[in-house]
Amino acid sequence: MRELRAIGSRVEFDPRRYWNDRHEQTRGLDGVGFLGLRGLNDWMYRVRRRVFARAVRQTGIEVGPARVLDVGSGTGFYLERWRELGTSELIGSDFSDVAVERLRGDFPGVRIESLDITTEDPASLEPLGTFDLISVMDVLYHVVDDAAYARAFANLARLLRRGGRLVFTENFLHARSELNHAWHTSRTLEAIETHLRSAGLFIERRQPWFVLMNEPVDSDSRLHARAWWVMRKMSEKVPGAGFAIGAGLYAPEVVLTRLLSEGPSSEIAIARHT
Ligand SMILES: C[S@@+](CC[C@H](N)C(=O)[O-])C[C@H]1O[C@@H](n2cnc3c(N)ncnc32)[C@H](O)[C@@H]1O
Structural domains for the chain: 2-273 (3.40.50.150)
Long-range contacts formed by 192-198: CB under 8 A, 24+ apart = 195/149, 195/150, 195/153, 196/153, 196/271, 198/150, 198/153, 198/154
Min mean pLDDT across 6-10, 45-49, 117-121, 163-167 is at 6-10
Question: Average pLDDT, stretch 7-25?
Answer: 78
CA trace torsion 153, 158, 164, 170 (10° rounding) = -10
Interval between CA 223 and ligand 1 midpoint (Å): 31
Question: Rounded mean pLDDT of 70-80?
Answer: 97
pLDDT of residue 29: 76
Ligand 1 binding pocket, CB closer than 6 Å: 15, 19, 32, 71-75, 77-78, 94-96, 99, 115-118, 137-139, 142-143
Percent of the chain with pLDDT over 90: 85
Cα of 46 vs centre of ligand 1, distance in Å, is 19
With the most atoms of ligand 1 within 8 angstroms of its CB, the residue from 14, 46, 142 to mutate is 142
Looking at the CA of residue 75, tell me the nearest atom of ligand 1.
Answer: 9
What number does the ligand 1 atom closest to the CA of 118 have?
19
pLDDT digits (tens, 9 = 90+) for 30-70: 766 676 778 999 999 999 999 999 999 999 999 999 999 99
For residue 265, give Cα distances in angstroms to 174, 177, 193, 204, 215.
Answer: 11, 14, 17, 19, 6
**What pLDDT shows up at residue 9?**
47
Residue nearest to ligand 1 atom 23, measured at CA = 72
- pLDDT score of 107 more than 50: yes
Cα dihedral 136, 138, 140, 145, rounded to 10, equals: -150
pLDDT at 33: 66
Mean pLDDT, the chain, rounded, equals: 92
Digit-coded pLDDT (tens) for 178-209: 888 888 899 999 999 999 999 999 999 999 99
Residues of the chain above pLDDT 70, percent: 95
Which residue lies with its CA nearest to atom 22 of ligand 1?
72
Query: Which of 37, 48, 78, 94 for a ligand 1 pocket mutation test, highest count of atoms within 8 Å of Cβ?
Result: 94
Least-confidence region, from 25-29, 223-227, 232-236, 265-269: 25-29
Q: What number is the average pLDDT over the span 86-97?
A: 97
